[in-house]
């Protein structure tokens, strides 16, 4: 079964500091994608970053980067220079093609950035 686990329900960080959110997953597929989505209080789910499993290089999008460890099935998100606008729920997600490409989400990590 395809599963996604986020073991940190809540985290907080001081503005301008760095924080890392953890995600582990389980799949028998060899080629796949992984995503991090952000859901602020406005509720709109926003795609933050994606990683393709066949790429060894970790993805980076401005202040957001991932640490992808394929053998360990680990996919963490690092946010550098945290800003107040980063306050949100963060979800790790995995697309499962055997069911129409549905996204399987983790339970989420609620991140609070404090001034």
Partner 1 sequence: ETGVTQSPTHLIKTRGQQVTLRCSSQSGHNTVSWYQQALGQGPQFIFQYYREEENGRGNFPPRFSGLQFPNYSSELNVNALELDDSALYLCASSLKRGLPEQYFGPGTRLTVT
Which residues in this chain contact partner 1 in the complex, by CB under 8 A? Answer: 4, 33, 35, 37, 42-47, 50, 91, 93, 95, 97, 99-108
Nearer to partner 1, 82 or 90 (CB): 90
Question: Which tokens sit at 115?
Answer: 């001034």
Total number of residues shown for the chain: 115
**Please, what is the minimum distance in Å from the beta carbon of residue 115 to partner 1?**
25
**Please, what is the minimum distance in Å from the beta carbon of residue 81 to partner 1?**
25
Nearer to partner 1, 99 or 115 (CB): 99
* Residue-by-residue DSSP string for 19-45: EEE--EEE-S-SS-EEEEEEE-TT---
* Nearest of 79, 74, 34 to residue 61 by alpha carbon: 79
**Please, what is the minimum distance in Å from the beta carbon of residue 102 to partner 1?**
4
Q: Is the dihedral of CA 90, 63, 73, 31 positive or negative?
A: positive
Nearer to partner 1, 51 or 82 (CB): 51
Burial of 111 (0-12, 13-18, 19+ CB in 10 A): buried
**Please, what is the minimum distance in Å from the beta carbon of residue 15 to partner 1?**
25
Nearer to partner 1, 5 or 18 (CB): 5
């Amino acid at each position: 079964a395809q599963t996604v686990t986020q073991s940190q329900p809540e985290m907080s960080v001081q503005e301008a500091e760095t924080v890392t959110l953890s995600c582990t997953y389980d799949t028998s597929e060899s080629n796949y994608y992984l995503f991090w989505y952000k859901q602020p209080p406005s509720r709109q789910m926003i795609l933050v970053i994606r990683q393709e499993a066949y790429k060894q290089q970790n993805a980076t999008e401005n202040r957001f980067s991932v640490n992808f460890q394929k053998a360990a099935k680990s996919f963490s998100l690092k946010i550098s220079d945290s800003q107040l606008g980063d306050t949100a729920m963060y979800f790790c997600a995995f697309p499962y093609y055997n069911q129409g490409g549905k996204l399987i989400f983790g339970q989420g990590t609620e991140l609070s950035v404090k001034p």
